[in-house]
Amino acid sequence: MADLTDKELADFAARLHSLKADLQEVQASSKDASAVVQLDQQSVGRLSRMDALQAQAMAQETERRRALDLRKIDAALSRIDDGEFGYCAVCGDAIERGRLDLDPAAATCVAHAK
């Protein structure tokens, strides 16, 4: 670990764990919400059913992104365990500190950000 102290790593780990807990909480409550949409579909007309399907597609997209974010967070946590946290996955250089502060799950330096 080039320039991150154990204390800083522990702080990043704590932030990642709390981000993960937040996402999982939202994930749990949004599963309830899409279950409600499905129930509504039985009893409403065609237009409303289209609305419901559209809402469901949007919810699925949101859910897909959330799952991606969770995977990023898990990957960052395992990089902390492996001692690779803070290094760009593409070029191996240290990731800018400001970038990590903004997004502790960032896996690349600014130059290699998608």
Region class of 92: left (phi > 0), else alpha (psi between -120 and 50), else beta:
left
DSSP 1: -
Interacting residue ranges for Zn ion, rule: CB under 5 A: 88, 90-91, 109, 112
Residue 75, burial from CB neighbour count under 10 angstroms (0-12, 13-18, 19+): middle
Is the CB of 45 or the CB of 92 nearer to Zn ion? 92
Q: How far is the CB of 90 from Zn ion (least distance, A)?
A: 4
Minimal CB distance to Zn ion: which residue?
Answer: 88
Q: How far is the CB of 107 from Zn ion (least distance, A)?
A: 10
Is the CB of 3 or the CB of 32 nearer to Zn ion? 3
Is the CB of 73 or the CB of 86 nearer to Zn ion? 86
C-beta separation of 106 from 19 below 8 A: no
Tokens representing 42 are: 């039985």
Q: How far is the CB of 87 from Zn ion (least distance, A)?
A: 9
